[in-house]
Amino acid sequence: MTGDQIASFAYLVLLGSAVTGWLFLQSRQSRSKLVQQAAIWGLIFVGVIAAVGLWSDIRRDVLPRQEFVSSQEIRIPRQPDGHYYLSLNVNGAAIRFMVDTGATQIVLSRSDAQRAGIEVADLAFLGTARTANGTVRTAPVWLQQLTIGPLSFDSIRAVVNEGALDTSLLGMSFLNQFENIEIRDSELILRY
């Protein structure tokens, strides 16, 4: 155990002792009530210890987030819906993308394109893309800057989807910027 873990454990033992002592002194006349309250507080105490001890696992499973392991590696945990999501800054706007190896390009939804400063009303939707929901029209755009952690890409080609798209997509044109792509232990690992 590290020094911090020992100090945390000692604090919890001291807190538990204080609560137990208070319960004992308050319930001298009614021992059955004392036992009941002690059991409740004991369960609360054990629950707090379990939550503190398992916090890193709980955070990883309930609130998985991308992390930069080093200046060379990004780890993206699989979300409960089975997909991998990556948050990037596009022209200064934070946009959440779903990683989609079936998409050829970076595909922005209309709302995400507007957040990134693209005038959607001025776009010419001349291209087409075949999706699982059928054929949709697309408009080509250039993203001035796309940033993720320490990485920055300038003048990146993308398309804006004219149809209904809940989440923008990071396709192969973006993933090809990385030297290595690996899926291991429910994580998508991007190395550059």
Mark whether 102 and 51 lie in a shared domain: no
Question: What is the full per-residue pLDDT of the chain (192 aa) written as tens digits?
Answer: 677 778 777 788 888 787 777 766 766 666 677 677 777 888 888 788 777 777 665 555 555 566 665 667 888 888 888 899 988 999 999 999 999 988 899 999 999 999 999 999 999 999 988 887 788 899 999 999 998 888 888 999 999 999 888 899 999 999 998 899 999 888 888 888
Mark whether 70 and 141 lie in a shared domain: yes
Mark whether 83 and 54 lie in a shared domain: no
Mark whether 143 and 85 lie in a shared domain: yes
Asked if 160 and 139 count as a contact pair (C-beta separation under 8 A), the reply is yes
Mark whether 24 and 82 lie in a shared domain: no
User: How many domains does the structure of the chain reveal?
Assistant: 2
Provide DSSP, the chain: --HHHHHHHHHHHHHHHHHHHHHHHHTSS-HHHHHHHHHHHHHHHHHHHHHHHTHHHHHHHHS---EEEETTEEEEEBPTTS-BEEEEEETTEEEEEEE-TT-SS-EE-HHHHHHTT--GGG----EEEEETTEEEEEEEEEEEEEEETTEEEEEEEEEEESS--SSEEE-HHHHTTSSEEEEETTEEEEE-
Mark whether 43 and 70 lie in a shared domain: no
At 94, which CATH number? 2.40.70.10
Mark whether 97 and 186 lie in a shared domain: yes
Mark whether 122 and 52 lie in a shared domain: no
pLDDT of 61 reads 54
Mark whether 51 and 70 lie in a shared domain: no
Domain that holds residue 39: 3-61
Last residue of a domain, one of 24, 41, 61: 61
Mark whether 106 and 74 lie in a shared domain: yes
C-alpha closest to that of 112 among 92, 131, 128: 92
Mark whether 105 and 145 lie in a shared domain: yes
Mark whether 99 and 159 lie in a shared domain: yes
